[in-house]
């Protein structure tokens, strides 16, 4: 995967993670607690600052009541 593709995926994840969390009226702290993660990690992910492991994505998706695919869905234009 080209480096720009990795950066694009990070930005899509950040946008969707924030959107899904807010749609469920959760704070970063609440999501972190539900997923068994640190709030700082949620903040870094929503800021596109770090890469993420598959198991962490799974925990986040479960805590949000979503699928891992939902975390990477690109915005529909139109």
Give whole-number Cα distances, 53 to 10, 68, 75, 78, in Å.
12, 12, 23, 32
Q: How many domains does the chain have?
A: 1
What tokens appear for 10 in the block? 């990070």
Give whole-number Cα distances, 64 to 2, 22, 32, 77, in Å.
29, 10, 10, 24
| CATH number for the domain that contains residue 21 | 1.10.260.40
In a domain, 72, yes or no: no
Which pTM does this prediction carry? 0.89
pLDDT digit string, tens, across residues 56-65 = 999 999 999 9
Average confidence (pLDDT) over 29-57: 97
Average pLDDT of the residues of the chain:
93
In a domain, 74, yes or no: no
pLDDT of residue 75: 72
Confidence grade of residue 78 (pLDDT, cut at 50, 70, 90)? very low
Instruction: Give the structural domain span for 49.
Output: 3-65
Q: What is the DSSP letter of 50?
A: S
Model confidence at 33: pLDDT above 50: yes
In a domain, 48, yes or no: yes
In a domain, 15, yes or no: yes
């Amino acid at each position: 995967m080209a480096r720009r593709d990795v950066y694009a995926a990070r930005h899509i994840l950040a946008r969707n993670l924030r959107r899904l969390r807010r749609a469920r009226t959760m704070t970063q702290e609440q999501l972190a607690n539900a997923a068994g993660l640190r709030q700082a990690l949620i903040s870094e992910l929503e800021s596109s600052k770090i890469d993420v492991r598959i198991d962490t994505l799974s925990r986040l998706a479960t805590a949000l009541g979503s699928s891992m695919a939902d975390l990477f869905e690109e915005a529909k234009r139109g």
